[in-house]
Chains A and B, each alone.
Chain A
Amino acid sequence: MAAVISAAGLARTFQTKSGPVEAVRCIDLTVREGEILGFLGPNGAGKTTTLRMLTTLLKPTGGAATVAGYDLATDPGGVRRVSGYVAQSGGVDPQITVREELVTQGRMYRLSKAEAVVRAAELARELDLTELLDRKTAALSGGQRRRLDIAMALTHRPKVLFLDEPTTGLDPGSRADLWDLVRRLRDEHGTTVFLTTHYLDEADALADRLVVVDRGVVAAEGTPSALKLAHGGSIDATLQDTFLAITGRGPAPADAAPVAV
């Protein structure tokens, strides 16, 4: 299948008072159309920075990438038109109603006022927000808030949806609902989903393929079972052990000599 995201040597160095910090050193990756990609890594590995580069929020300091054929550096406008992004913090004003946020978002994607109103109603139906349209976003539960964030990101029917830790802070029921929603998006609309997560069960259950980053580079990639086999020692290994083995922070192998007796 065709690649919808491809990145080569993507890098970002931040200049700070205490010298340069290489948040992302070299990311090469390919995401195929209609794929759900799990982007994993320890805290500070460069997940969010990578996501912010792929969504045009942050200019890379090295490398190149295309999203749905649009080049990040030369056509950020094109990238914006084909991708949706939900940040960790979401992005709604607590004092504004769900309806107003959805309509404004439609208008930001250059829909006419009438089209934006229709689209807001459609999105509300699709994401089960219809009853909540006239509530202020501050009055939504965590799960409802997440559905609204995603609805906003889907306004323009993006080819690619970027989700940064979408289920952090949600209760188990809301998480399961969100997983269903992500699968439905892919199955019904063919949307490619690029999601970061710390929950390995989430990655296991949801992602077709995983990319593990560590210290700003891709440490491993493959289907969950391939990674378990290659790094966890067996296809029955837990993703937890596999992840720890890849990022080098796992328990020592059983046959290793003890450090001290």
Chain B
Amino acid sequence: MLLHDTALVYGRYLRQSLRSRFALLFGVLTPLLYLLFFGPLLTDLPLGEQGSSWQVLVPGLLLQLGLFGALFAGFTIIMENAQGVVERMRVTPVSRLALLLGRVLRDATVFVFQAVLLVLAAVVMGLRAPLAGILIGFAFVALLTLSLASLSYALGMKVRTPQEFGPLINAVSMPSMLLSGLMLPMALAPTWLDVLSHFVPFRYLVDAVRDAYVGQYTSAHMLYGVLVAVGFAGLAVTVGTRVFRTAGA
């Protein structure tokens, strides 16, 4: 039943995404601009990491794509709440978990698609990385967007107005981006900043993807990255499902 319901909800929202092709491509614009206009600045800088500057930057941009994109997913649930769509689905016997999973899997699909576009562009710009590493990078994007979109929907169900939602998300996304070393590796940071960044879960993800991009699949970074990504996803989906079950309270 869960599979049937998840597939149903997923299909509905994937068709919705496919209807707005413009939005589908637009999401990739910000990281693409970074790639084009920021990436070339790094080529000759010592970044304190292995591999070329592209192998350092692209993993960061992939997670940035997920971070900014998926955190805003909750905007759509605010609109759907206003239209009554969420309640109409919640009075049917459809699984509550599926109401969330169908949506976040759609988001993961969209962001992985955008990540593929971004990596293709990066290859044109000069990125060279092992295929397995690139695929692992996509898996991290998928897990991250699944988690963040779940939390974003949960928040969207709670706050109910875009006026409250927007500032809250901005307050989370900017510090997360800066403190996780997405743009430049934290290896460059003074100790206090490096220590602080270890309290931001995305730090572990970006370290893991950077390792994957230089072919190190069994490093400690990779282990921590996987643990944090999977643990965060489990937590986020649990929170999200709880909200879909009890919303309105």
Contact = CB atoms under 8 A, between A and B. Distances in A.
B85 interface: yes
A17 B246 CA distance: 19
B202 to A, nearest CB: 32
Interface stretch (B76-84, B164-172, B193-201): B76-84
A3 interface: no
B246 to A, nearest CB: 7
B90 A110 contact: no
Contacts of A107: 8
A95 interface: yes
A251 B6 CA distance: 56
Contacts of A190: none
A84 B249 CA distance: 21
B92 A105 contact: yes
B: contact size bracket? 20 to 34
A110 B4 contact: yes
A135 interface: no
Interface residues of A, number: 31
Q: Kindly name the residue among B8, B87, B92, B94 whose own CB sees the greatest number of chain A CB atoms within 10 A.
A: B92
Contacts of B83: 89-94
Q: Kindly name the residue among B85, B88, B93, B94 whose own CB sees the greatest number of chain A CB atoms within 10 A.
A: B88
A56 interface: yes
Q: Is the interface of A mostly helix, strand, loop or mixed?
A: loop
Contacts of A83: 91
B20 to A, nearest CB: 9
Interface in A88-109: 88-96, 100, 104-105, 107-109
B21 interface: no
Interface string B58-84: 000000000000000000000010111
A55 B248 CA distance: 12
Contact of A109 (B84, B90, B92): B92
Contact of B248 (A52, A80, A94): A52
B23 interface: no
A85 B80 contact: no
A89 B80 CA distance: 11
Q: Kindly name the residue among A89, A95, A108 whose own CB sees the greatest number of chain B CB atoms within 10 A.
A: A108
Contact of B93 (A90, A92, A104, A110): A110
A58 B93 contact: no
Interface string B1-38: 10011001000100110010000000000000000000
Given A90-B83, A91-B85, A152-B88, 13 more contacts: A57-B90, A57-B91, A57-B248, A85-B87, A85-B91, A91-B83, A91-B89, A93-B83, A93-B85, A104-B12, A108-B5, A108-B8, A110-B93
27 contacts: A55-B91, A56-B90, A57-B91, A57-B248, A58-B248, A83-B91, A84-B91, A85-B88, A87-B87, A87-B88, A89-B82, A89-B83, A90-B84, A91-B89, A92-B83, A93-B16, A93-B80, A93-B83, A94-B83, A95-B19, A96-B16, A100-B15, A104-B8, A108-B92, A108-B94, A110-B4, A110-B93
Interface of B: 1, 4-5, 8, 12, 15-16, 19, 80, 82-85, 87-94, 246, 248-249
